[in-house]
Amino acid sequence: MHVLLVGAQEYPMYAPAWARGLRELGIKVTVFDWTESLSRGVVGRLERRFLFGPGINRAKRKLLEIADDVRADVVLLYAVPVLDIATIKHLSSWAWVTGYHNDDPFGQHRSNPSLKAWRTLIPYFQSHHVFRSKNVVDYHKCGVDLVKELQHFYLPWIHRPVVLKGPEKACYANDIVFVGHAELDSRMSYLDALVSNGLQVKVYGGTKYWQRYLPSKLKNVFGNIVPVYADEYTKTIAGSKISLAFFSRANHDDYTTRVFEIPAIGGFLMCERTSVMQDLYKEDSEVVMFSSREELTEKCRWYLKNDDKRIEIANAGRARCISSGYDVVSRMKQWVSDIEAWSHKTYDD
């Protein structure tokens, strides 16, 4: 199988992770980053936002040039908004064209131009994989038969245990940490509950949205919130006693990428309780869950005082991640199996 993977290469946990995971399975992968065709500076930012301009046209032309040149068996369009129906039909004339989007095109941000564009194109793909089970139904309603959920993953080359020593150990030491984006959902109430009860919490994430959404009374508590990536992220989780995970209401999420990354690093995961999470892990044995401010606060207090039990659960959570195949290579095995089954059945028919 030869795969042409079309997707932005900015964040290692998204399209680049798929490319590496597929290559580790022996799949030939050609990557096209459509964002490199965008204009520079302000014009490029406007093109990305409104999907209009010379850079958008360049991206379409370049995609067709590369696709016509490599003639891959499968064209994987990873959250690519700069397409049109004619382009997908052209690609489908010789390749299996499949899509993936980690955001919910039918969620709270459905009016975003990129998600509107994606929704328009959904019926013209031959198959799709989606981040959350809810979207399987949404895509079926768009007229697509071949849709499966493909849960996210951790990256073994980044999300792994690290031993912090000396000044580095002190630098990354936290009682409770949350790494993630800001959103006006339950996470604000949960963070407020922890702070109001005198617990020490450190927050990391995109500065812009935390400044916009964080309640005024918490801004002085958390100070300047900044993102952490790659090794910095791993060390932050490894150095913290409790790592929190909240699920996006805007995306209708009942799990998130953090629930694989944190245990894989060897961190102690404290997350919102959902049926999906209870399927992924044994509650109170491999991770700990909560459904209210009071439950979160009480459990954080208890586990901060009980190091042995906390470490035992963190170790069991990591073992579950490995044994259940929550890594990117295992997920790509599922993807390859699905594509082969779908394409063979379609072509045989």
Quick: pLDDT tens for 104-119: 999 988 999 999 999 9
> How many other CB atoms sit within 10 Å of the CB of residue 26?
8
- Global confidence as pTM: 0.94
Residues in the chain, pLDDT under 50: none
Place of tokens 């779908």: 342
Domain ranges of the chain: 2-152+328-348, 166-323
DSSP state of 249: T
Instruction: Give CATH superfamily name and number for 2-152+328-348.
Output: Glycogen Phosphorylase B; (3.40.50.2000)
Fold of 166-323: Rossmann fold (3.40.50)
Q: What's the confidence (pLDDT) of residue 184?
A: 87
The three-state DSSP-derived secondary structure of 284-297 is CCCEEEECCHHHHH
DSSP calls for 69-128: HH--SEEEEES--S--HHHHHHHTTTSEEEEEESS-TTSTTTTSHHHHHHHHHGGGSSEE
Residue 124: closest CA among 88, 87, 79:
88
Domains 2-152+328-348 and 166-323 fall in the same CATH topology:
yes
DSSP state of 39: P
Quick: pLDDT tens for 13-43: 999 999 999 999 999 999 999 999 999 999 9
